[in-house]
Amino acid sequence: MLLEQIGQQAKEAEPFLRTLSEEKKNQVLKQAAAELVKHTKRILAANEKDMARGRGKGMKAGLLDRLLLTPERIAGMAEGLVQIAALPDPVGQVMKEHTPPNGLKIRQVRVPLGVVGIIYEARPNVTADAFGLCFKTGNAVVLRGGSDALNSNQTIVEVLRETLLACDCPAAAISILEDTSRETAAAFMKLNRYVDVLIPRGSSGLIAAVVQNSTIPVIETGSGNCHIYVDEAADLDMAARIVFNAKTQRIGVCNSCESLVVHEKVKDAFLPMLAQKLEEKQVELRGDDRARAVVSMKEAAEEDWGAEYLDYILSVKIVDSISEAIAHINRYNTGHSEAIITEDKAHGEQFLREVDAAAVYVNASTRFTDGFEFGFGAEIGISTQKLHARGPMGLEALTSYKYEIYGTGQIRG
């Protein structure tokens, strides 16, 4: 199908979606969840084609992990749709209302954005999440996934479109560009006649390309150079558990820990125990001179402080104070997720107040920056910008608002 035709059909579906009842939306979402599970073998067969191609191309382990689907991950995608169905529908919600001296009754009401475009890489779970969140908020969605996940994405979209038609809803509520060429992607970024907002998800290079070239308003989702700072007042056993989880539970995700910052006073006690634990996953450490004096590791280069590795690699920086830690983090972070491990409440509060990021943690893993974990059912992405939406973007982030005004014959003098 031609790009122009896809955009036109999505725009034509949008008025129908905008006026769907919450009951109907929830029925469709629950049915879509059931159909995804029902067609697990069909989806896995498509995913294996993508995995085989990825392995043949020498794709890195972290990227293969992002691409991989399993019965459990498909069940998780389905559970995300069920959770979205259980959430309150924000569309039509009265945000505030007032009556000025002229007697007009003015209400600010949530409405869908319209047609949402998403450009993303080899993460087929995004396909189901995007559908669920956009459908619940009355938006049509047009997807452009990466070529590495084409078979997986196409099959998931086929299942969802079949479900929509079976539920008497327009299949164009979700569309996918089967042509994954750069030329088509570039044309998609100019489709502002039909698409109201564009959300890129993926590498920093992809996001930068979309921000620079799109004529459609963009909600920027950022890469994740996430830090954990182990304070002088940290519980070191807790710190080791949290760093191990944040670094190794899933290496190919944007909320994994890529950089460790350690206070000088605990480096001698903490680094050896952490290095021993990370050895279980063969994590490569790259540190500054003071870190390397405690534990054998590679020397960190300047580019390591700002790197999103998506691999079993962790940079290590030693600092003399919490203020130095915060300054280092604010210089090199990507505005995603940052954490402090400390038993000092004042230090925790200082970190929360001064670190500039979408999600800031005290004594918890950065891996929780996730729409599912935040109770949003799923997420459309994690925004690292400050306008419209920030952090995990759930239902409310996919709405705008309009003003409804009731008069009794007022005219302006």
Residue 356, pLDDT > 80, answer yes
Whether residue 217 is contained in a domain is answered as yes
Q: Which domain holds residue 146?
A: 3-221+393-406
CATH code of the domain containing 48: 3.40.605.10
Residue 62, pLDDT > 80, answer no
Percent of the chain residues topping a pLDDT of 70: 100
Strands lying side by side in the sheet with 94-98: 94-98, 105-112, 399-406
Q: Are residues 204 and 128 in the same domain?
A: yes
Q: Are residues 172 and 261 in the same domain?
A: no
Q: Are residues 20 and 153 in the same domain?
A: yes
| 257-263 and 226-230 strand pairing | parallel
Q: Are residues 49 and 196 in the same domain?
A: yes
Whether residue 354 is contained in a domain is answered as yes
Model confidence pLDDT, tens digit, residues 126-140: 899 999 999 999 999
Residue 209, pLDDT > 70, answer yes
CATH code of the domain containing 302: 3.40.309.10
Helix (H) or strand (E) holding 174: strand 174-176
Q: Are residues 195 and 341 in the same domain?
A: no
Q: Are residues 323 and 270 in the same domain?
A: yes
Q: Is the pTM of this model over 0.85?
A: no
Q: Please count the structural domains in the chain.
A: 2
Helix (H) or strand (E) holding 205: helix 204-213
Q: Are residues 336 and 400 in the same domain?
A: no
Confidence of residue 377 (pLDDT cuts 50, 70, 90): low
Q: Following DSSP, what letter does each residue of 210-266 receive, concatenated? A: HHHH-SS-B-PBPP--EEEEE-TT--HHHHHHHHHHHHHS-TTSTTSEEEEEEEGGG
Whether residue 312 is contained in a domain is answered as yes
Question: What pLDDT was estimated at residue 384?
Answer: 82
Specify the higher pLDDT residue, 389 or 11. Answer: 11
| Cβ(29)–Cβ(132) below 8 Å | yes
Q: Are residues 243 and 352 in the same domain?
A: yes
Whether residue 129 is contained in a domain is answered as yes
Q: Are residues 113 and 254 in the same domain?
A: no
Whether residue 413 is contained in a domain is answered as no
Mean confidence (pLDDT) of the chain: 94
Q: Are residues 302 and 198 in the same domain?
A: no
Confidence of residue 180 (pLDDT cuts 50, 70, 90): confident
Question: What pLDDT was estimated at residue 136?
Answer: 97
Whether residue 376 is contained in a domain is answered as no
Q: Are residues 204 and 117 in the same domain?
A: yes
Model confidence pLDDT, tens digit, residues 289-338: 999 999 999 999 999 999 999 899 999 999 999 999 999 999 999 999 99
Residues in the chain: 413
Lowest model confidence (mean pLDDT) among 219-223, 284-288, 315-319 = 219-223
Q: Are residues 108 and 211 in the same domain?
A: yes
